[in-house]
Structure 1
Amino acid sequence: AEWDYDRCIRVGQISIHHGVRWLTADFNCTVTDPDYVNLILDRLRDSHPRIYGMLLYVEQPFPYELAEHPIDVHSVSARKPLYLDESAHDWKWVARGRELGWSGVALKTCKTQTGALLSACWAKAHGMGLMVQDLTNPMLAQIPHVQLAARVGTIMGVETNAMQFYPDASGPEATVHPGLYQRKGGCLELSTLEGPGLGYRLEDIQRQLPEPALDFRP
């Protein structure tokens, strides 16, 4: 755990230097013992209280299949909000996570819009926190993603990183909705979303699609 702890300190110190207010910790399903996370959190609390205070939540330290790894995580969520990510396949697994001690859930429209809405409804009805994350949603996928985040009541904003990983992918959409595909002061601007449905304004977006790679018609 020493390297993980040292990494948290280094990232925290860099963040403080640059005026960052909040951090999150994502162990990416690599942990099987809650005490591994607890030890890091307790050491940060005692030795680096400012960095500890900046931690908004801890994300998915444990294996994503809750059926195979039903780990009791109440001790972790007693220290910091603990958010399901990979384990949140649908609202039923969100419910199972809550039984095990998870306190929040990451919603992803790329796992289907309906699934995200159902998980959000169940989680909010049972006092769980929410965040909206993406798997790098470009082009039209960005729109339902941010529409959900703007309305569902997240712990803090929305994760959106398509403009970081491939900024040129969403050119036609950005022409119509410039505020959705470029962060300014850490914020997105949704005022151009209007009209039926999710406000795509498809008739205004001049995207030329390639020929289909496969044709399944008989």
Structure 2
Amino acid sequence: MPWLAALVCCSLFDIALHDALGQTLGQATYDTYSAEYLSRDLGQFLQPAAGSNVQFDGRFPSEFLDADPPITLPAWHLVGGLDPLDESELSGNEPDDGYPVLLADWIRTDGLTCLKIKLRGNDAEWDYDRLVKVGTIAIENGVLWLTADFNCTVTDPVYVNEILDRLVAEHPRLYGMILYVEQPFPYELETNRIDVHSVSARKPLFLDESAHDWQLIRLGRELGWTGGALKTCKTQTGAILSACWAKAHGMTLMVQDLTNPMLAQIPHMHLAARTGTIMGVETNSMQFYPAASAAEAEVHPGIYRRRDGQVDLTTLSGTGFGYRLDEIDRTLPDPVAAFGVSE
């Protein structure tokens, strides 16, 4: 099984254990990541980069997490490579479900200020034109920040550098709006040890698919990457350890999702609020299947709908992750199996 697939399968059990610890102790999960509740420090799990002054002995995750997290976060919207940007790109087969289709309509409806642009990574002219077209719509509609996701298909830093250099010369405002560049290069970092310092000299460069654990973030730092994208779907434990390692070494973080619906959205939001990202949180389940989270949205409306470009975490309270399960009216199917129960 591919390692990423294994992490995704494991993540729901791992997240449940973190929630259970908080529930058992009568504490919010993030308040349990301290010496008061943990029997082993970070030095038992992490090793600092060679030649650094970083030490993990005697230190705990709480030192690297925000004890007073924000209750609202800027929300990033995903602009897919096949998404129609304006009426000229409509095919006539778009869904008529009451939700926006065109980018400008999404921006106005949700008050978006942050757009993530999916690129091809193997067609420089298409990528450049896409950045310019999305960026132009963004400026016209008051968007503040962009990020470029080359989707792990680039094999030479020159490809990214030439696009960025052309942007700064021809569209300097758009260049300035690009907050960071995401994972242009193959995600198999150990077998594709590409020196990327020339890219990160132009813009912050974030690992995404490669950032499975803190060891890979350490390798990325050696190669010139300056930040990493965390995902709870790769386990809460891994995300916390990676966040601690990265922050101890001066790296910047982002929290991204794999279209988290229903309860999966809640730990995702907590992670973004607690780790202190470069800007808000990526959240796109409300783009792709908003109705899936209707029951949870009755209790936590602010995290399943983007308003004024923000998500609102005010309702997340109580022990564990603050799910408030007893208030969520969701009917689940019968389990296919149960531990310790015989036929």
TM range (shorter): over 0.9
Q: Distance in 2 between matches of 1:182 and 1:168?
A: 11
The alignment status of 1:38 with 2:161, answered yes or no, reads: yes
Give ranges in structure 1 of 5+ residues lacking alignment.
none
SS in 2 for 1:24: strand
Equivalent residues, number: 218
TM-score after normalising by structure 2: 0.62
Q: Offset of 1:69 from its aligned partner? A: 0.4
Matched, 1:27 2:188: no
Q: Which gives a bigger RCO, structure 1 or 2 (Cα 8 Å, sep 6+)?
A: 2
Q: Percent identity?
A: 73
Partner of 2:179: 56
In the other structure, the counterpart of 1:15 is: 138
The structure having more radius of gyration, on CA atoms, is 2
Query: 1:185: which partner in 2?
Result: 308
Distance 1:63 1:214 in 2: 38
- Could you tell me which residue of structure 1 aligns to residue 245 of structure 2? 122
Which SS does the other structure have where 1:23 is aligned? strand
Which residue identity does 2:237 align to in structure 1? T
Q: Distance in 2 between matches of 1:128 and 1:80?
A: 13
What are the equivalent positions in structure 2 for 1:7-156 lying under 5 Å apart?
A: 7-156=130-279
Q: In the TM superposition, what is the alpha-carbon distance from 1:206 to its structure 2 partner?
A: 2.0
Q: CA deviation at 1:122?
A: 0.4
Corresponding residue of 1:162: 285
TM-score between both structures, scaled by the size of structure 1: 0.96
SS at match of 1:154: coil
CA shift, 1:215, in A, is 6.5
SS state at 1:170 partner: helix
Task: Name the CA distance, whole Å, in 1 between partners of 2:325 and 2:337.
Answer: 24
After superposition, the CA RMSD in angstroms is 1.3
Uncovered stretches (5+) of structure 2, i.e. residues with no partner: 1-123
* 2:297 aligned counterpart, secondary structure: helix
Q: Structure 1, residues 71-118: CA drift from partner, whole Å, max 9, x if none?
A: 000000000000000000111100000000000000000111111111
Return the letter of the residue paired with 1:140.
L
Amino acid at match of 2:169: D
